[in-house]
Structure 1
């Protein structure tokens, strides 16, 4: 990890209050960056939305979300120019008092003016594993829980003033979090405040020269994933007239000596002095942004699936020979909500690793397309797999699938991730060399990340699997996934949907009111333990619904299947 005096609380105690000043030069540079990022957001008013901020800062998970929330003072879901400038000035130049308040806001998920030890532990679980700047692994020599316990001193909650007193002396947690934040902020921001230190990741990789831009001659300098420009070279260092952040843009050649920097919403056109200079700039920008060409690393063959915004193809990794699935998505038809869900799914897949959750291999991107490369699961969806067996499988197989899914959900919930769209189509079936089946959970486009005490009221998911609290718009957390698992368990064990009707209103009414009856001739083949699982998961009151821990400790789930491997195979 990079080390910086900026994260030192001891240094911060010596500073005088900076808010809301900052030098004119710093504010001028920050305004240029704000203007550049705001242009990407397509908002009715100037501002930087959450997605653009997270992309710009390279902070994944709840740490990035909470940093954004701490800067968004009016809570309107975007940073205006004042919030952006003042927030960054406080981060870089704020006193101990000022940065302690930012840190407290990051921990205060519920905005209740007090925080718990679980709030801090949750943020620590989302710290980046590697430093984006030096690429070194995050190594912490102390135990998170021990340091949190020292900070709280047996208190259940602490308020801001108590937090300030404790964090000034026991500062390891605070300094670690701020170090991760500064390591994730782009170097172009560092340069606004630390110009005298000549901030640059690689001094040998400067590319400079003249280009025509907006019908005028400018002198350009490419460094720190940004293009700085000015009318002359001597003005470029101290007084550039503009900066273009290139890290999330894509470069391609155009006619003559021209080349284009673009994304799916807008583009910049430049003209070099000659073809040699044009190719030099294109190569330099690709190198600076770390651009990867998908078809150099992979080849694709047949289409194995289609969706609203693209298709899924069978592919091969040219370096390993492994078969993969490639979701190719066209950006052009994506609206803001769809793109947000897509980015959220990618971010979640990047941070979760579990044997029953689809593994993300890599992501490639161009101005117009996204390539999401995952493991290829040959068994198809659980719906197709059950349909091929006329929705009739042995209870021992159903138990294996339910247990594996419960373990996957427990892993997700422990990390604050709620799937919110559990259904047969979002589960793939993998069969090992012995024929033993294993479910693989996919599609996190409707998922959300919730910290302790946070709830959601979004009405998302698929109606036939929707929990009563979703239909009633009651605040919910993990309970909606437990209900979804209950619906899937019912189908696995009984062979049909528990709730159906002539139309959506009829289905919703049955979900809210129809009792779960598992008695009678049609249910004789189901064991008492399996019935208890179904009833427990399909309990309408979320507070009374069976938990994942209770499910995994239930005697029906814990039954030993030794010597019966042949009976939990696919056929």
Structure 2
């Protein structure tokens, strides 16, 4: 990062060779603000409410990401154009800060620095809110791949016992996120990172760009992958957080077991994507429950966690 690039949106931290003291002051001020934001979010987990949403069309690419090594750690660098950044006003110590929603969601989801590497979501190491783009620096486990690539390396699908391990971890992750009032809204194969180093692969959730703050009521704008949107969005133009998460977990499980290249809610509703009859009875039952057309007929996340197939 070149001197002078780190700063709040719309204004850069002024740094010149003639005023080296200003560089130190700007860096310290920014570090203090970030620290205040982290502390505020960690101590007010349930007090943040939603303020708008972004409707992305299918095929949009909201960011590019590369991997770099920072010291001995591998990190992922995510670049997001400012026109695609959703923002939230937060009052911290009497000052109003215009904070990117994705930053807020990740910090709420992961907690403090001690959770790096152990949280259900990928930990945010740092962020740079520049004039033209938002840059996120995230942890990147080594080795790891997204779940879609993992399936390709496994021949296109998983055996039931392998999918069960992944599903157990994802249900636990979803419960953790919702307990912190975080609604991911775009759980799919590409947004699940699989750490392949351990003896047992570990699934973690990434990319909160379509996320928002969880609430009990309905949402009337959808942000996420249309092919993974719940049926109620297409039928009634509304949906709730937890039933949508259960639906999307069902979509992920379907993809892990079926090997179909791309799930599509509308095709599924037209009975074009049947559930594999060769799966065990308990597994078929769990899929049918998660992928119920009626939200109230889907299990809660806690009921899902205790389903016989996941025991």
d(CA) in 1 for partners of 2:282, 2:106: 34
Relative to total residues, which structure has the larger helix share, 1 or 2?
A: 1
Q: How far apart in 1 are the matches of 2:243 and 2:253?
A: 15
Q: Does 1:390 align with 2:155?
A: yes
Whole-Å separation in 1 of the counterparts to 2:13 and 2:248: 47
Q: Are 1:474 and 2:221 counterparts?
A: no
Task: Please give the per-residue CA displacement for 1:33-74, whole angstroms capped at 9, x wherever unaligned.
Answer: xxxxxxxxxxxxxxxxxxxxxxxxxxxxxxxxxxxxxxxxxx
Q: Larger radius of gyration, structure 1 or 2?
A: 1
> Structure 2 CA distance, aligned partners of 1:324 and 1:269?
27
TM-score for both structures, normalised by structure 1: 0.42
Does structure 2 retain, via aligned residues, the 8 Å contact 1:479–1:545? yes
Bigger relative contact order, structure 1 or 2 (CA pairs below 8 A, ≥6 apart): 2
Q: 1:465 to 1:439 in 2, by over 3 A?
A: same
1:457 aligns with 2:220: yes
Q: Alpha-carbon deviation of 1:383?
A: 0.7
Closer, same or farther in 2 for the Cα pair 1:547/1:286, shift >3 Å? Answer: closer
| 2-structure distance, mates of 1:349, 1:308 | 20
- Match of residue 423, structure 1, among 188, 201, 214: 188
Q: After superposition, where does 1:350-389 map in structure 2 within 5 Å?
A: 350-353=107-110, 355-377=119-141, 378-389=143-154
Q: Would the aligned equivalents of 1:487 and 1:497 in 2 still touch at CA under 8 Å?
A: no
State the shift of 1:312 in Å.
Answer: 2.3
Aligned pair 1:315/2:68, yes or no? yes
CA distance in 1 between partners of 2:252 and 2:229 (Å): 11
2:241 maps to 1:490? no
Distance (Å, rounded) in 2 between the aligned partners of 1:339 and 1:380: 27
With over 3 angstroms needed to count, the CA separation of the structure-2 counterparts of 1:326 and 1:499, relative to structure 1, is closer
- The secondary structure found in structure 2 opposite 1:455 is coil
- Runs of 4+ off more than 6 Å: 267-270
The alpha-carbon distance between structure 1 residues 368 and 463, as it changes in their structure 2 partners (threshold 3 A), is: closer
Query: What is the aligned counterpart of 2:207 among 421, 425, 443?
Result: 443
Shift of 1:314: 2.3
C-alpha separation in 2, matches of 1:430 and 1:352: 19
User: 1: distance between equivalents of 2:305 and 2:190?
Assistant: 23
Q: 1:544 aligns with which of 274, 284, 297?
A: 297
- CA distance in 1 between counterparts of 2:224 and 2:127 reads 25
Shift of 1:309: 5.7
Match 2:82 to one of 334, 346, 349: 334
Q: TM (normalized to structure 2)?
A: 0.73
Q: Aligned-pair distance for 1:366?
A: 4.5
Distance 1:555 1:312, change over 3 A: same
Give the one of 97, 105, 124 matched to 1:348: 105
CA distance in 2, matches of 1:527, 1:481: 23
Are 1:494 and 1:523, in contact at CA under 8 Å, matched by a contact in 2? no
Query: Residue in 2 aligned with 1:174?
Result: none
* 3-state SS, counterpart of residue 222 of structure 2: coil
- Which of 268, 277, 281 is the equivalent residue of 1:523? 277
Q: How do 1:41-52 residues align onto structure 2 when only pairs under 5 Å count?
A: none
* Mapping for residues 58-137 of structure 1, pairs under 5 Å: none
Deviation at 1:252, TM superposition (A): 3.9
Contiguous gaps of at least 5 residues in structure 1:
1-249, 254-260, 293-306, 501-506, 559-571
Using a 3 Å threshold, how does the CA distance of structure 1 residues 265 and 438 change in structure 2: closer, same or farther? same
CA root-mean-square deviation? 3.4
Task: Measure the CA separation in 2 of the matches of 1:309 and 1:551.
Answer: 32
Could you tell me whether the CA contact under 8 Å between 1:398 and 1:492 is conserved in 2? yes
1:405 & 1:323 partners in 2: Cα distance?
23
| Closer, same or farther: CA 291–549 of 1 in aligned 2, 3 Å | closer
Distance 2:232 2:4 in 1: 49
